Chains A and B, each alone.
Chain A
Amino acid sequence: GSAKSDRTAGPAAKQATYKIFLIPKFIGIPVFTLNGKGGKEAGKKLGDTVTYNGPTEASAAKQVPFIDTAVRQGYNAIVISANDPNAVAPALKRAQDRGLKVVSYDADAAKDARTVYVSPPDTQSIGAGLVEWVGSQVGYKGQIAILSATTTAANQNAWIAVIKKTLKKPKYKGLKLAKIAYGNDNDTKSAQETQALLQAYPNLKGIIAPTSVGLPAAARVLQQAKKCGSIALTGLATPNSMRAYTKKGCGKKFGLWNEVDFGYLAVYVAHAVLDGKLTGKAGESLVAGRLGRRTIGKNSTMPMGPPLVFTPKNIDKYHF
């Protein structure tokens, strides 16, 4: 058995074409579907076979079997958005032992379990950006809250850390972080949590929802509560999901990297890693097709680059 995967991952790996397995946190929601789309697009460009599959719930335990079978099927690389950085690590290490390359994207896996992490536009700029976007809308003062995904989502927590750090800066000292609510990447929950925020903090000025499920939900609740005027909303979501609200002034400024590009880049990175062009060292770089040159930063993390910023004016230029 092991011999088999060695063969495919060993000498075979030197051939130009690879088999790459793209595992999202869970399948079924558009964001990940778009990642898959981008990944496949990149695959076509590079002549690689890209498979997109995963569990139906955001559960690490249910991601692992996909990792293991990918190994057995002789895939050359795994691209994954981890539900639990640690819980998938042993499986990913098994894969690496069998000669596979691992690239994490969106939500990182334990460092020693992947070669490169393709991060959403780097934590720093997103975190800072989110604060700026909300701050600029409320005149840099007032009570704000965060609507996050799950308490344990690595990327969310990273952003929250930066947001807290940024808020300490003199420019933002007017902004007070009242509460961090969790919507569990679940539309229902997110909406209810937003409602809860409105109740608990009558004079809330702004909400930061750095989740593609949470932001539109929040926007909708604000609209239904007729609070779009009084509460500034920002966060991360696809322009399609926000268009209606943004145009009505709910979430006048928010951002996102292009989810299609995200998957696209992740697969390009995986290919480069397989070619041995990327080893995770800071400063290494590659030309990622239509995205141009991208470079690895520290912690062998490659940021998506600055997010696109959507406003009522420019939003109609984007369709994803």
Chain B
Amino acid sequence: MKLSPQTLAQAAFRLREAGIFIALTVAVLLFWARANNFMTIANWQDIATDVAIVAVLAVGQTMVVLTRNIDLSVGSIVGLTAYISSDTLAHHHGLPLGVVVLLAVTIGIGLGLVNGLLVTVGRIPAIIATIGTLAIFRGLLFEITNGQNVLAFQLPERFLNLAARKPVGLPFLAWIAIAIAIAGAAVLRWAPWGRDFYAVGSNPDAARYAGIPVGRRVLTAFVLSGALAGLGGFMFAARFASVDAVAGTNLEFDAVTAVVIGGVNVFGGSGTVLGAALGAVLVATIQDGFTLLKLSEFWKMFFNGTAIVVAVTIDALVTQRLQEALRRRRRAEMVAAREQGAAT
């Protein structure tokens, strides 16, 4: 049978994720060969823990970016919720962790709502709005901590051990990340409002004409991003036990990096959670591998940046090829159709 545009599209779509997958495999093989004790359970557990928080943030970031927006305030939200979580626990040792998670997520939702309203009601471009709230939220954290920090010894054991737990050999935090990623993917695939994210990002005006409540959808995306950042904050507190005013600084960069490397179009409309998650894993793996190869901080920085550029280049080339193929395919089909039309 002939290659129909749909199969072509799906092929190219797989190509996207495939691209990251290949990159990942190459990286793994390389490190495996060069660095002993890379291919060890312990090491992969570390990678998993490292990636967990960023992955959770990346899921939220994906939703926002799909709607042709961006959320640069997640790092600050993580900091705030991380501190509030641990501070609360420090003062109420008996508090069930579920409640603390709830608290963190609720705060995250609140802050996400602020971002969302600034963008939708206030009509402030997301990148600006969230640069502003990035500063404001971080500032608030400074005010709250007032130069103090919460220390491990103030926290209940069960909380301190949370991050260390490894059900079925996988770190607890990684399990959370996986759950979130699956949920996120499901939403983007099955939830009608999740699909709308793609429509909104692909062509906002058309979305409006189609009767999609654009404002509400964008708001939802930001709220989700905030909520997940809140969860990320809790995870951060669990992982690093002691939290101060600079906790989570620059995490937004890691999240955006993961999303970009994951092949999510920064102009919205296309991309998947799977891609973003893979992106996060790729970054974490490379970081880890470089550490094992005893490369300096600076080489890591350098390669990280280069990796982003390479990733988007590949992605761009793939999509260009695809479009060209599609157009020609289309034309051939038109020709065929006309020939038949003419014959009759």
B240 touches A191 (CB 8 A): yes
Which residues of A lie under 8 Å from residue B42 when comparing CB positions?
199
0/1 per residue, B30-60, Cβ < 8 Å to A? 0000000100001100100010000000000
Residues from 197 to 235 in A contacting B, C-beta threshold 8 Å: 199-200, 202, 216-217, 219-220, 224
In the assembled complex, A192 has its CB within 8 A of some CB on chain B = yes
**Which of the 9-residue segments B17-25, B191-199, B243-251, B314-322 touches chain A?**
B243-251
Complex Cα–Cα for A187 and B82 (A) = 13
In the assembled complex, B148 has its CB within 8 A of some CB on chain A = yes
Which residues of B lie under 8 Å from residue A264 when comparing CB positions?
none
State how many angstroms separate the Cβ of A55 from the closest Cβ of chain B. 11
B46 touches A199 (CB 8 A): yes
B297 touches A182 (CB 8 A): yes
State how many angstroms separate the Cβ of B226 from the closest Cβ of chain A. 21
B297 touches A28 (CB 8 A): no
Complex Cα–Cα for A29 and B249 (A) = 14
State how many angstroms separate the Cβ of A151 from the closest Cβ of chain B. 8
In the assembled complex, B285 has its CB within 8 A of some CB on chain A = no
Complex Cα–Cα for A30 and B240 (A) = 16
Complex Cα–Cα for A10 and B153 (A) = 50
Which residues of A lie under 8 Å from residue B241 when comparing CB positions?
220
With A199-B46, A244-B152 in contact, do A224 and B142 touch (Cβ < 8 Å)? no
B148 touches A199 (CB 8 A): no
B37 touches A202 (CB 8 A): yes
B43 touches A187 (CB 8 A): no
In this complex, the member of A33, A187, A191, A217 whose beta carbon has the largest number of chain B beta carbons within 10 angstroms is: A187
In the assembled complex, A195 has its CB within 8 A of some CB on chain B = yes
State how many angstroms separate the Cβ of B198 from the closest Cβ of chain A. 34
State how many angstroms separate the Cβ of A242 from the closest Cβ of chain B. 8
Q: Which of A29, A33, A36, A243 contacts B246 (CB 8 A)?
A: A29
With A186-B249, A199-B37, A199-B292 in contact, do A27 and B244 touch (Cβ < 8 Å)? no
With A196-B291, A199-B43, A199-B46 in contact, do A33 and B152 touch (Cβ < 8 Å)? no
In the assembled complex, A279 has its CB within 8 A of some CB on chain B = no
Instruction: Tell me the dominant secondary structure on chain A's binding face.
Output: helix
0/1 per residue, B175-191, Cβ < 8 Å to A? 00000000000000000
Which residues of B lie under 8 Å from residue A69 when comparing CB positions?
none
In the assembled complex, B264 has its CB within 8 A of some CB on chain A = no
Q: Which of A30, A36, A179, A245 contacts B149 (CB 8 A)?
A: A30
In the assembled complex, B266 has its CB within 8 A of some CB on chain A = no
A192 touches B50 (CB 8 A): yes
Residues from 229 to 279 in A contacting B, C-beta threshold 8 Å: 240-241, 243-245
0/1 per residue, B226-249, Cβ < 8 Å to A? 000000000010011111111111
- Identify the closest chain B residue to A226 (Cβ): B164
Which residues of A lie under 8 Å from residue B148 when comparing CB positions?
30, 33
Which residues of B lie under 8 Å from residue A186 when comparing CB positions?
246, 249
B145 touches A28 (CB 8 A): yes
State how many angstroms separate the Cβ of B158 from the closest Cβ of chain A. 14
Complex Cα–Cα for A277 and B37 (A) = 60
20 further A-B contacts with Cβ under 8 Å, apart from A30-B149, A240-B153, A245-B153, are: A27-B142, A27-B147, A28-B145, A28-B244, A28-B245, A29-B246, A30-B147, A56-B142, A179-B294, A187-B244, A191-B240, A195-B46, A196-B288, A199-B37, A199-B292, A200-B294, A216-B151, A217-B240, A219-B152, A240-B151
Q: Which 4 A-B pairs have the closest CB atoms?
A: A244-B153, A33-B147, A28-B245, A196-B291
A-B contacts, 14 of them at CB < 8 A, read A32-B147, A33-B147, A57-B246, A187-B246, A188-B240, A192-B50, A196-B291, A199-B288, A217-B240, A219-B152, A220-B242, A240-B153, A241-B242, A245-B152
